[in-house]
Structure 1
Amino acid sequence: MSPAISGAPLLIFFLTLSLHISFPTAVHLPTKVPSFLPGDNSPPTEKYWFSRLPNTPLPKALRDTLQPGYYPSVIRDFSNGEKISVDARQKYGKNYNGADNHKKAAKSALPDSTIFYLYNDLHPGKKMKLLFTNSGTKVGFLPRRVAESIPFSSDKFPEILKYFSLQVNSKEAEIINDEIGYCESPNMEGEEKYCATSLESLIDFNVARLGQNVQVLSTEPGKKQEYTVSAKAEMRGEHKAAVCHKIRYPYAVHYCHVIEGTEVYVVPLIASDGAEVKEVTVCHLNTSAWSPDHMAFEVLKIKPGPAVCHFLATDSTLIWVPKKDQDMTP
């Protein structure tokens, strides 16, 4: 795949920004969910997590999307408070209509923040201005049987709008169309991707590729300030990882992909206010196939090729990595 092809899909970073659009009307599905186990009111999806991943705690970002005993509400303000991936919208280069607008939004929203940094800068003493946020998730998972009954493809777009009682020229319809198009975009070379429309399908995708002995990492929220790398970063996953981030949709949908040449680190940081945190950073070791128009090159003032890293900016992005056997929690 030639790096000169601007329409070629790029690596997707999961650095995310808030996009606030309000839609007041709510649409609700039927309420009561039958329990699979008598006397147990836990959501069926939570049971499935622990049946497939008995040694992996359910991350808070996912647990918050489950409502015991009830279907989650499907709400029309699904873009309010949700986060949008900066580079996901640039992945088509100049052929993607929204790429320039999202690039401008990213630069204006974080004008003095470290969006990208070079791999060689990941060392103790490095200072960066960072913002780690809570996604404020407003939409929850549907049980698989419900999610699979709802169309999720561009050729079923009219049916999707009818299902959610949306007008074709509405902002919500535009967002749905963009996100489905994003899920259906061609894979880049060395990438395997999938949009999971239920927690069960999210689990199945990652277990099939990484096994059941996994760790799921996410960001710890913290205010925007200067952070200093306080010690050596710890690599997780041994050069193998799956990254899943939540897209804007009326119910929870996660875009997951496995990309070659990716390393994941947990980085100890000390904030300017004295707070000590450990945050997750993702490093892409070979950027030679990326479009020269990618924002990472503009920010870092480099050409395609060098290894580039970024922190996860919100808890709505999850990194799945395999654990070593000795790290298993009984």
Structure 2
Amino acid sequence: MAKHAAAVLVLFSLVSVWPVTLAGDSAALWSSVLPNVILPDALRQSISPVEDSPIATRFANAVSRGALFPEVSASFCDAACLVCDNNVQVSSYGIENVEEAPRSLSIKTINDFQFDFFLEENLVAGGEMQLSENLHDPIPNRPFLPHVVAQSLPPLAAANLPKLRQTFNIADMTTMATMMGTAAYLCENPALPGEAKDCPISLAAMGQFVLSQLGSEVESLYTTGAPNKAPTEKSPVKIEAVTKRSLAEGEHIIICHTIMFPSALYYCHHVTGTKVVEASLRAQDNSIINAVGICHLDTSLWASEHPAFTALRIHRGAEACHWITQNDVVWVSTSTQ
């Protein structure tokens, strides 16, 4: 017990003297991979507060040696501003009884997380549409892991979940354990035919995937102006203005969806046959949501029970569109514009 307490004391003493505003390795690695690409705010704010610090190095060493104690994991989670909460609730997962559902049985692909479906033909200035949460992301904000810690972890797969739960001090058969299981299920499954996918657990890993798929001439698109909390009263938003981007651009884009994990984690997939749309949406409180949406021109590979088909009253294969929430990111090639 004294050994555990000493380890915690070392971690906290390092936190107390180390600045928490360092960009460190992640930003440097991003610049080395995509030097001319400006980070979107959501990703810039996700750089770990203990990046490039002794606490990150010591924790990574503990992970590599298998010398983790609950007190050490808990103190690292606190210092790194992670969400290591056994009972965290996220509305988009629909988990009610973790004993009966080791993962949310309705989640089979990343598309099952999408909501607020619409038809492109209905996206016209002056119209209205109903949004479930005004594009608020129900997944809580949390930083990426420091690069050195991310490198010390095993791949995100079902076989590695016991060690990953130990790393973040997460008990088995809890809602967070279920969400980590869902993340592993999504990330270790093969990509859909014609797609490439990756689940970056660090900023550098996302940059490397974007570079490998789209090259270095890229820009990010993302939704802004969404509320910090979901509105308590649901009311339609008014469509103020619409921009429909080119079909050529939509032939190759990367969509990065945030998924629940103690640290920031994204499911990024390189898709084809899409169109990017943007719209200014005026909410009931008169605020403006600058929304980014994706129209999938061919949904024939989607599961027949996908909720978009029922919501839009369309057949499998027909075009379907959805908005992305405030923390998701779309990467497009600027060479096609």
Q: With structure 1 as the length reference, what TM-score do the two structures score?
A: 0.71
Identical amino acids, percent of aligned pairs: 29
Sort the Cα spacing of 1:139 and 1:99 in 2 relative to 1 into closer, same or farther, 3 A. Answer: same
Distance in 2 between residues matched to 1:144 and 1:53, nearest whole Å: 16
Q: Which residue of 1 aligns with 2:176?
A: 172
Larger radius of gyration: 2
1:28–1:75 contact (8 Å) kept in structure 2: no
Query: 1 or 2 for the larger relative contact order (CA 8 Å, sep ≥6)?
Result: 1
CA drift of 1:256 comes to: 0.4
Alpha-carbon spacing, 1:28–1:155, altered in 2? closer, same or farther (3 Å): farther
Quick one: distance in 2 between partners of 1:50 and 1:84? 33
What is the CA deviation profile of residues 157-216 of structure 1, one whole-angstrom value per residue up to 9, with x for unaligned ones?
Answer: 222233333333333322212210111123222221111111110110011111222111
Question: Cα offset for 1:252?
Answer: 1.6
Change (3 A) 1:267 1:74: closer
CA-based RMSD of the aligned residues comes to 3.5
Query: What's the CA shift for 1:297?
Result: 1.0
1:56 paired to 2:63: no
Task: Look up the SS of the partner of 1:230 in the other structure.
Answer: strand
- Asked if 1:197 corresponds to 2:209, the answer is no
Q: Residues 84 and 195 of structure 1: is their aligned pair in 2 closer, same or farther, counting only changes over 3 Å?
A: farther
Gaps of 5+ in 2: 1-7, 16-20, 57-79, 95-102
TM-score normalised according to structure 2 size: 0.70
Q: Is 1:320 matched with 2:320?
A: no
Letter in 2 for 1:159: K
Residues 241 and 320, structure 1, Cα contact 8 Å, conserved in 2? yes
Cα–Cα, structure 1 residues 68 and 294, in superposed 2: closer, same or farther, change >3 Å? closer
Q: Which runs of 5+ in 1 are unaligned?
A: 1-26, 34-39, 87-95, 108-113
Structure 1 or 2: more strand by fraction: 1
State how 1:1-330 maps to structure 2 within 5 Å.
Answer: 30=11, 41-70=22-51, 71=56, 72-77=80-85, 80=88, 84=92, 98-99=105-106, 115-130=116-131, 131-133=134-136, 137-151=140-154, 152-220=156-224, 221-222=226-227, 225-235=235-245, 238-239=249-250, 240-312=252-324, 314-324=325-335
**Other structure's SS at 2:277 match:** strand
Q: Which amino acid aligns with 1:296?
A: A
Please tell me the residue identity of whatever aligns with 1:52: V
Aligned length: 276
Measured after TM superposition, the shift of residue 269 of structure 1 is 3.3
Higher helix share: 2
